[in-house]
Amino acid sequence: MPLYREQHLQEISQQFRIYGQILHAEPCKIGHINETYTATYDQGGVLVRYIHQKVNQTVFRNPEQVMENVMRVTTHLQRKLKEQGTGQATRRAITVVPTHDGKPFFCDGDGEFWRTFVFVERVQSFEAVQTPHQAFEAGRAFGEFQALLADLPGGRLHETIPDFHHTRKRFEALQRAVAADHCNRAKFAEKDIAFALAQEPWIDTLLNALASGEVPERITHNDTKFNNVMLDWETGHAMCVVDLDTVMPGLIHYDFGDMVRTTTSPTLEDELDLNQVRMQMPMFESLARGYVTAANGFLTPAERKYLAFAGRLVTFTIGIRFLADYLAGDTYFRVHRPDHNLDRSRTQFKLVESIREQEEAMQKFVDQI
């Protein structure tokens, strides 16, 4: 970390209710949006770690609303866990450290918003699921997360990123990107564009179900990648979920669908060898069993019947976001090689096809849980 950053971080650390002296801090690879540091403090001779994080205001344009959501959610989670007699509550839900004046964030002289969390010790995360047991734990973790928040009191949470999973609006954004073709890239993605546009007849399925009242709006995480699940070092059991900035109103299918996208294929989301991309039924079965077992107390029959379809829809939605960004010149997702977003979109589309081929069997399994 550059010296000026270290000095600035020490100034930031003094704004929060942390006792002891900060010894050092280092960048932390948690997420890809916010600027995150792990900081070590000496508290009476014991080394204690915290997370200091600067909110990315390009993505989250109203940080105060983000933190209002985070505080409501984490406070409720902690209370519910204690009521249930769950041990190690501060390892099961993240803890926000307030500033000296009681606020959940500090705004520095540059207008940057900082927040601090208690570091959850003896846990680890993985970029990709390695075993069916991990898939089960991922499903269980997010199912429990939704279940604990099902009775969150108060008004509706803020939409920190409006229309985040709105497939119709994402589809219209792709159509605009194709028409504009600002970077003259459409000619390199003709087959991909044709595939995406051909899926239009079914993309409103969940939106229509919500509009008709068939499925209810819930509080959902909205970014259920496997690396947002913290697993205990020793047992491998899921302890908590992190990255709560996108917790907001949504459909449970957005969470479950993104779990299908990120846990059931043996490849990462930018795999070049598309022959390796496939939905693995054993992984799906473990994921679905973990999720439905944890969420069964509040899931409606209508919600259950769309779970397999959710995997196809969310994977497609992410795919068209990658494709639209490629056509627009890679302005949103960070890329690390030429055509990276195009490669990502192709991986998603191949997974869409694999899910569609197995969707009937997937739903049949869900129905039997």
Q: How far apart are CA 93 and CA 85, in angstroms?
A: 14
Antiparallel, parallel or unpaired: β 113-118 and 46-54: antiparallel
3-class state of residue 74 by DSSP: helix
Of the listed ranges 27-36, 108-117, 208-217, the one predicted with least confidence: 27-36
pLDDT of residue 4: 44
Contact partners, residue 172, CB within 8 Å, separation at least 6: none
Q: How far apart are CA 241 and CA 92, in angstroms?
A: 8
Which residues share a beta bridge with 219? 249
Tokens matching residue 336:
């690390």
Q: Each residue of 75-97: pLDDT tens digit?
A: 999 999 999 998 888 899 999 99
Residue type, 54: K
Where are the domains positioned within the chain?
A: 3-121, 132-368
303: left (phi over 0), alpha (psi -120 to 50) or beta: alpha
Tokens matching residue 258:
């993104």
Buried b (16+ CB within 10 A) or exposed e, 47-72: ebebbbbbbbeeebeebeebbbbbbb
Q: Is residue 32 predicted with pLDDT exceeding 70? A: no
pLDDT above 70: percentage of residues in the chain? 98
Q: Is 232 exposed, middle or buried (CB count within 10 Å of its CB: 0-12, 13-18, 19+)? A: middle
Q: Each residue of 138-169: pLDDT tens digit?
A: 999 999 999 999 999 999 999 999 999 999 99
Cβ(170)–Cβ(94) below 8 Å? no
Whether the model clears a pTM of 0.75, i.e. scores above it, the answer is yes
As a whole number of Å, the end-to-end CA separation of the chain is 49
Cβ(13)–Cβ(52) below 8 Å? yes
Tokens matching residue 217:
């709006």
Q: How far apart are CA 60 and CA 177, in angstroms?
A: 23
- Residue 160 has, within 13 A of its CA and on its CB side, a CA count of 26
CATH of 3-121, one of 1.10.3720.10, 3.40.50.280, 3.40.50.150, 3.30.200.20: 3.30.200.20
Q: Is residue 305 predicted with pLDDT exceeding 70? A: yes
Q: Is residue 334 predicted with pLDDT exceeding 90? A: no
Query: What string of DSSP letters covers 242-283?
Result: ---TT-EEE-HHHHHHHHHHHHSSSS-TT-S-GGG----HHH
Q: Each residue of 348-367: pLDDT tens digit?
A: 999 999 999 999 999 999 99
Note the CATH number of domain 132-368. 3.90.1200.10
